[in-house]
Amino acid sequence: MLIAIQLDNVTKTFQIPTEKMDSLRERLLNFKLRSRKESFRALSQINLTVEPGEWLGIIGPNGSGKSTLLKVIAGIYEPDQGKVEITGQLVPFLELGVGFNPDLSALDNIWLNGVILGMSRKKIAEKLETIIGFAGIKPFINQKLKNFSTGMQVRLAFSIAIQSAGNIFLLDEVLAVGDYEFRQKSKRVFEKMKRQGKTVIIVSHELDQIKELCDRVVWLDHGKIVLNDKPETVIKAYTKFV
């Protein structure tokens, strides 16, 4: 069996400070207390395989480990134990603003983000009008990004990401702040990506979207896989739980 993504016994733990000190005086007087930390296990022994061309949905309550899982797959976080194997070119669309410079114009940020995603200057130039049009920001293309709304920044980041040459995409709440028009355009992009055989892992609280797009769904809770099955089966069980 061909494999696009494979996680074997992946565990990720964070060290969380237990003391909160607001003033410089408190920090100086309680220097030793600042070193006290608690361990928080965000992922626990995750075993997961994703085949080429498969669309996998990740659902679960806030704090269940969904975003941490994507960041481990993307290589942003190193697992404490276990291993992650990727076969293909990965494009992570995980956090708003990653790769953006708020003091540069939207146009400059297209060039900057495109290069970060591995696009050549020639490819960016060819796709420039498409990116601007899809994001719907043509009147604001020369404005600094810090003046953009959250929705405008998400649209721009997604518009750049989908033009990359990747074949594995990690999408975290892509449409959470998109308007109706953007959602419809994105839906058509997703349909095209499916026809092209792209591999996608998508995190979303929009269960109808997950059910419509995905071939399989994983339900995460407290960093563990509760259920890994067909969308209808997992979503039905999850909605009873919540």
Ordered per-residue pLDDT tens for the chain, 242 residues:
789 999 999 999 998 876 655 566 655 556 555 557 788 999 999 999 999 999 999 999 999 999 999 999 999 999 999 999 999 999 988 765 567 899 999 999 999 999 988 899 999 999 999 999 999 999 999 999 999 988 889 889 989 989 988 899 999 887 666 678 888 888 899 999 999 999 999 999 889 989 999 999 999 999 999 999 999 999 999 999 88
Q: Are 162 and 117 in contact (CB under 8 A)?
A: no
Burial of 61 (0-12, 13-18, 19+ CB in 10 A): middle
Q: What is the count of structural domains for the chain?
A: 1
pTM of the model: 0.85
Q: Are 219 and 238 in contact (CB under 8 A)?
A: yes
Q: Are 35 and 182 in contact (CB under 8 A)?
A: no
Q: What is the rounded distance in angstroms from the CA atom of residue 39 to the CA atom of residue 31? A: 20
Which CATH number characterizes residue 163's domain? 3.40.50.300
What is residue 151's predicted lDDT score, i.e. its pLDDT?
Answer: 83
Q: Model confidence over 52-107: pLDDT tens digits? A: 999 999 999 999 999 999 999 999 999 999 999 999 999 988 765 567 899 999 99
Domain with 157 in it? 5-241
What would you measure as the largest C-alpha separation in the chain, in angstroms? Answer: 62
Q: What is the rounded distance in angstroms from the CA atom of residue 58 to the CA atom of residue 75? A: 18
What is residue 17's predicted lDDT score, i.e. its pLDDT?
Answer: 75
What is residue 240's predicted lDDT score, i.e. its pLDDT?
Answer: 93
Q: Are 207 and 200 in contact (CB under 8 A)?
A: no
What is residue 25's predicted lDDT score, i.e. its pLDDT?
Answer: 62
What is residue 93's predicted lDDT score, i.e. its pLDDT?
Answer: 83
Helix or strand run (H / E) with residue 220 = strand 216-221
Cα radius of gyration rounded to whole Å, the chain: 20
Q: What phi, psi does 83 have (nearest 5°)? A: -140, 155
What is residue 2's predicted lDDT score, i.e. its pLDDT?
Answer: 87
